[in-house]
Amino acid sequence: MTQDELKVMVAEEALKYIPKDGILGVGSGSTVVKFIEAIDRFKIKVDAAVSSSNKTTKMLQDIGIRVLDPNDVEPYGVYIDGADEVNPAFDMIKGGGACLTREKILASMAEKFICIVDKSKLVPTLGKFPLPVEVIPMGREQVARSLRALGGNPILRQGCITDNGCEILDVHDFMIEDPLAMEAKINAIPGVVTVGLFAKRGADMVLYATEEGVSVKVRP
C-alpha cells in the first residue's frame, strides 16, 4: 500500500470520532486534507469547526462547514490533526506544513487531541524530522544562535511565510530525549513564536494506519 492510501485509511477511521454536535477542531497537512475529503465523501454532519490554517478553512468552507473564529468559542471537545513524528508517550513533532502555532492554540483548547498518522510517523525518539520553530522575522538570526547553542542546526525554510506573517527555522540534528524540557527551553527564546514540539499538550489518542488496518492507541 502507498503512504497516500494509508493516509486515506486513517482519515476515514477518524470520521467515527467527530462529535455529533458541537465544534470540531481541524488541523492541517495532507492527512487532514484526506480527512476533510472523507467528511465530504461520506456526507458527515459537522455543526461548526475551528481551523488551524487558511488552507483548511477554505477546504471546510468549500464543503459547506461553518468555520468559527477561535476567539468566539469556548474550549471544545475534539481536535483532529496529523503529525510529522509521534513517540511512544504521544509527544509529537508538528509543523511540517508551517501551521504549528495555530495548531497548538486549537489543541490547547480541546478536551481530546486525536492524532491521525500512517505508520511511518511512529518513532522511538523524536528528532529525525527537522524540528520546526516559528520565529519573528527580525529575531531570526538571534534565535538561530540560541538554537545552535542547544546543539541544533537551524535552517531557514525558504519561501515560507506562515499564516501569522512569520518565518520557520527547521532545526536539524536534535535527538529529543526530553521533549517537555526542550519545548519549554525553545519557547523561552526571545523571538520564538512557537516550537513544533507538542509535549506539554501531546495527543490523547493516536490512530495509525498500517497494511493490516488502523490501530487505536490511547495515551499511556
95 binds ligand 5RP (CB under 6 A): yes
Residue 157 sits in the site that holds ligand 5RP (CB under 6 A): no
Q: Closest approach of Cβ 168 to ligand 5RP, in Å?
A: 10
Q: Is 25 in the site for ligand 5RP (CB under 6 A)?
A: no
Burial of 139 from C-beta contacts in 10 A (0-12 / 13-18 / 19+): middle
**202 binding ligand 5RP? (CB under 6 A):** no
Q: Taking the complex as a whole, how short is the minimal distance between the CB of residue 149 and ligand 5RP, in angstroms? A: 26
β strands within the chain, DSSP E: 23-26, 48-51, 76-81, 85-86, 92-93, 110-118, 131-135, 153-156, 167-172, 192-195, 197-198, 205-210, 213-218
The rounded radius of gyration (Å) of the Cα atoms in the chain is: 17
Interaction with ligand 5RP in 61-90: which residues (CB under 6 A)?
A: 81-84
- CB-wise, 14 or 100, nearer to ligand 5RP? 100
Judged by CB under 6 A, which of 10, 26, 31, 90 binds ligand 5RP?
Answer: 31
Query: Does position 99 bind ligand 5RP by CB under 6 A?
Result: yes
98 binds ligand 5RP (CB under 6 A): yes
End-to-end CA distance of the chain: 29
Cell of 7: 493516509
* Residue 154 is a binding residue for ligand 5RP (CB under 6 A): no
Distance CA 148, CA 154 (A): 7
Residue 27 binds ligand 5RP (CB under 6 A): yes
Q: Determine which one of 12, 13, 85, 103 is catalytic.
A: 103
Binding to ligand 5RP by residue 29, rule CB under 6 A? yes
Residue 118, marked binder? no
Dihedral, CA of residue 187, residue 142, residue 135 and residue 7, to nearest 10:
-80
Is 141 designated active site? no
Number of other CB atoms surrounding residue 67 within 10 Å = 17
Q: Tell me the C-alpha distance between 50 and 25, whole Å.
A: 5
Is 183 an interacting residue with respect to ligand 5RP (CB under 6 A)?
no
**Nearer to ligand 5RP among residue 142 and residue 215 (C-beta):** 215
**Distance in angstroms (rounded) separating the CA atoms of residues 37 and 39:** 5
Binding site for ligand 5RP (CB under 6 A): 27-31, 81-84, 94-100, 103
Annotated binding site for substrate: 28-31, 81-84, 94-97, 121
Catalytic residue numbers read 103
